[in-house]
Amino acid sequence: MLQSHLTFGTRKEAPRDEVAKNASLLVRAGYINKLHAGVYTFLPLGLRTFKKIEQIIREKVNAVGAQEVFMPSLQPKENWEKTGRWDTMTDLFKVKDASDREYALGPTHEEVVVPLVQQFATSYKQLPLSVYQFQTKFRMELRAKSGILRVREFTMKDMYSYHTSEEDLSNFYERMKLVYADIFDTVGIGHVTKMTFASGGSFSKYSHEFQAITPAGEDTIYVCQKCNVAVNKEIIADQSTCPECGNDKLVEEKAIEVGNIFDLKTKFSKAFDYTVKDGNGVQIPVLMGCYGIGVGRLLGTVVEVLADEKGLVWPANIAPFDAHIIVLGKDETLVRRAKELEVHLGQHHKEVLIDDRDVSAGEKFADADLIGIPVRIVISEKTENQGVYEVKNRSTGTVEMIPAEKIASVW
């Protein structure tokens, strides 16, 4: 793609109304745009990265047999009354229609997914099963001040599993811990993300958060120096040792919650009186787990963890493009060469952004660092004469001259 065709370009100045590094850089680099407090538009570059993260999550949860659905945002008040959350959830947006019927704007989907599955899975033979979606959630955050980490409208992968026994739920729950660790690894923040013990609410001893360590985090966690798990603030209040290994050396860190998994037991199935028949025709309670990841928050966390003073730094798996080709000089043949290289790399399934703009080399290099595509390739009269490309790795800063015919081996 030609950068000159990218309407939503970079800005020279950081936006004045953003304190968070993630939003400040993403706005400057042309990835997102603020509509009002806690509500952002994803621009083409941001949407490309967003969709790559979404697809990574989709493939990983499909691999455990989860079935993708798409549930509504407009949820009947009655369902929320059944779970008792209509009056207790303080950040619930409520909306009325012309005949004064009230709806919740879904901040989560237990109130939809439990009665949905209840209609279809009536026998123990149909369990275990799990369903998930990528859907907008609405939450009335009062102080939206952390860029895209804490917003009022966001896309979440929410997944729900259904089981006939504690053991089966527990096995699946353990498997999902591994799936989540794998997801955070694949998007590039596995090295700072800790599986963290959190309160299980009234129904379970623990739930689990996945917390990415960064100074920008709003949460405080305590990381076990022995087994690499962590506990959150609620837990440390009750016990000062690691629940996994008993170690008492826990180091305090700031972190962002990038995912959470809950053992819901029968909390929601009871609210809807959802039971299934067992092998003897007896109705038995259904146990549930739920598993969330906010896609935009995860994207923002990658920025907080990996970006440097020059701008964004994307891991290859979620970068909006694989290579950023910088054309230096006004010779039309250089742009043509860049387009040929785009075709060549396309045959190797690499997507490129070509900076063909009529601006200075310095501005092009600064923008390339800001946009953060992993591989920068310079094409100039000099490189053309030498039959090479100048290739810079955005993350390490290493610059190499690569013979033109070997360019695809950079990845």
Number of amino acids touching its own copies (CB under 8 A): 49
Q: What DSSP character marks residue 164?
A: S
Residue 190 as a binder of its own copies (CB under 8 A): the answer is no
User: Which position among 55, 67, 283, 333 is part of the footprint of its own copies (CB under 8 A)?
Assistant: 67
User: Which position among 89, 129, 227, 366 is part of the footprint of its own copies (CB under 8 A)?
Assistant: 129
User: Which position among 20, 23, 56, 112 is part of the footprint of its own copies (CB under 8 A)?
Assistant: 112
Q: What's the CA gap between 373 and 318, in Å, rounded?
A: 10
- What's the min distance (Å) between Cβ of 282 and its own copies? 22
Residue 9 as a binder of its own copies (CB under 8 A): the answer is yes
Q: What DSSP character marks residue 178?
A: H
Residue 138 as a binder of its own copies (CB under 8 A): the answer is yes
Phi, psi of 161 (to 5 degrees): -115, 150
Structure tokens at 223: 């990381």
Q: For its own copies, which stretch binds (CB under 8 A), given 1-9, 213-221, 309-317, 377-385?
A: 1-9
- What's the min distance (Å) between Cβ of 46 and its own copies? 8
- What's the min distance (Å) between Cβ of 356 and its own copies? 14
Residue 204 as a binder of its own copies (CB under 8 A): the answer is no
Taking each helix axis from N to C end, the angle separating 166-186 and 44-62, rounded to the nearest 10 degrees, works out to 140
Q: Which residues of 108-119 are buried (b: 16+ CB within 10 A; e: fewer)?
A: bbbbbbbbbbbe
Residue 120 as a binder of its own copies (CB under 8 A): the answer is yes
Question: Positive or negative, the Cα torsion across 334, 340, 342, 344?
Answer: negative
Residue 44 as a binder of its own copies (CB under 8 A): the answer is yes
Q: Please, are residues 128 and 170 in contact by the beta-carbon 8 Å criterion?
A: no
Residue 7 as a binder of its own copies (CB under 8 A): the answer is yes
Helix (H, G, I), strand (E, B), or coil: what is residue 59?
Answer: helix
Question: Positive or negative, the Cα torsion across 402, 368, 342, 323?
Answer: positive
Q: Which residues pair with 214 in a beta bridge?
A: none
Q: What's the CA gap between 85 and 191, in Å, rounded?
A: 37
Q: What's the CA gap between 78 and 116, in Å, rounded?
A: 14
Q: What's the CA gap between 133 and 113, in Å, rounded?
A: 10
- What's the min distance (Å) between Cβ of 101 and its own copies? 9
User: Which position among 26, 105, 176, 293 is part of the footprint of its own copies (CB under 8 A)?
Assistant: 105
User: Which position among 14, 19, 35, 237 is part of the footprint of its own copies (CB under 8 A)?
Assistant: 35
Q: What's the CA gap between 301 and 306, in Å, rounded?
A: 8
Residue 136 as a binder of its own copies (CB under 8 A): the answer is yes
User: Which position among 13, 97, 100, 309 is part of the footprint of its own copies (CB under 8 A)?
Assistant: 97
Residue 5 as a binder of its own copies (CB under 8 A): the answer is yes
Residue 199 as a binder of its own copies (CB under 8 A): the answer is no
**Residue ranges in contact with its own copies by CB under 8 A:** 5-9, 33, 35-36, 39-44, 47, 50, 65, 67-76, 93-95, 97-99, 105, 112, 116-117, 119-121, 126, 129, 131, 136, 138, 140, 142, 152-153
